[in-house]
Amino acid sequence: MAMTNMVSGSGTISSNAMLRIPCPQCGLRDYSEFRYAGDATKSRPGLESTDPREWHDFVFLFDNPKGAHREYWQHVQGCRQWIVLERDTATNRVGSASLARERGHV
């Protein structure tokens, strides 16, 4: 789609506009169609792990970067897919988006 190409062509979206997310299925859509689900860089401890420290760190601690952030969004008012989005938290510039299941996240 033309709008998606515009995004992948420049790799960015103006930070002045509403945040828009290039859904791999539906193209470029307003962020208000999505549900934000946080940091996608964490990896869950193995289910056999009984170390409370490991689980505490997974659940409660964040890098919370000012800059490049990899994060989950779910397109709840669209294709309902889970998406992993690259976004700059200091400018809202959006980079690539991919389906979480294709990246082995789900």
Partner 1 sequence: MREISRYSAWSLARKALFGTRWRRAWRAADPRPTYDVVIIGGGGHGLATAYYLAARHGITNVAVLEKGYLGSGNVGRNTTLVRSNYLLPGNTEFFEHSLKLWEGLSHELNYNVMLSQRGQLVLAHGPGQLDVLARKGNTMRLNGIDAELLEREDVQKLVPFLDYSAQSRFPIYGGLYQARAGTVRHDAVAWGYARGADHLGVDLIENCEVTGFLRSGDRVIGVETSRGTIHAGRTAICVAGHSSQMTAKLGWRLPVESHLLQAFVTEPIKPFLDHVISFGAELFYVSQSDRGGMVFGGHIDGFNSYTQRGQLPKVQTVAECAVALIPGMSRLKVLRHWGGIQDMTPDGSPFIGRTPFENLYLNAGWCYQGFKATPATGWCLAHTIAHDQEHPLIRHLSVDRFERGNGHDEYGLGLWNYKQ
Considering the complex, state which of residue 5 and residue 54 has its C-beta at the smaller distance from partner 1.
54
As measured in angstroms, the least distance from the Cβ of 63 to partner 1 is: 6
Exposure b/e, 33-69, CB count within 10 A at least 16 = b: bbeeeeebeeeeeeeeeeeeeeeeeeeeeeeeeeeeb
As measured in angstroms, the least distance from the Cβ of 32 to partner 1 is: 4
Per CB under 8 A, residues contacting partner 1 are 15, 18-19, 30-32, 36, 38-39, 52-53, 56-57, 59-66, 69, 71, 89-92
As measured in angstroms, the least distance from the Cβ of 23 to partner 1 is: 15
Considering the complex, state which of residue 39 and residue 45 has its C-beta at the smaller distance from partner 1.
39
Report the distance separating Cα 97 and Cα 87, nearest Å: 9
Place of tokens 């992993």: 84
| CA Rg value for the chain | 15
Considering the complex, state which of residue 2 and residue 53 has its C-beta at the smaller distance from partner 1.
53
